[in-house]
Amino acid sequence: MRESDFFDEKDVRKPTSLTCPFCGRTFQYEVRWRQRLKKKTLPGGASSEDRRRFGKAQSYLVRIDDMVGCQNGRCRRRFEIASFQTVVFLSESEPAPDGNRKRPAGTPARRSRNRNHRRR
Q: Minimum Å distance from CB 69 to Zn ion?
A: 9
The Cα 55–Cα 35 span in angstroms is 18
Kindly give the pairing relationship between strand 7-19 and strand 26-38. antiparallel
The Cα 44–Cα 50 span in angstroms is 11
Identified binder of Zn ion from the candidate list 6, 18, 20, 31, rule CB under 5 A: 20
Identified binder of Zn ion from the candidate list 1, 23, 46, 88, rule CB under 5 A: 23
Residue 64 CB contacts under 8 Å (≥ 6 apart), including other chains = 11, 32, 33, 34
In the complex with Zn ion, the residue whose CB is nearer, 14 or 77, is 77
37 binds Zn ion (CB under 5 A): no
> Number of residues in contact with Zn ion, rule: CB under 5 A?
6
88 binds Zn ion (CB under 5 A): no
Helix (H, G, I), strand (E, B) or coil at 9: strand
Q: Minimum Å distance from CB 31 to Zn ion?
A: 16
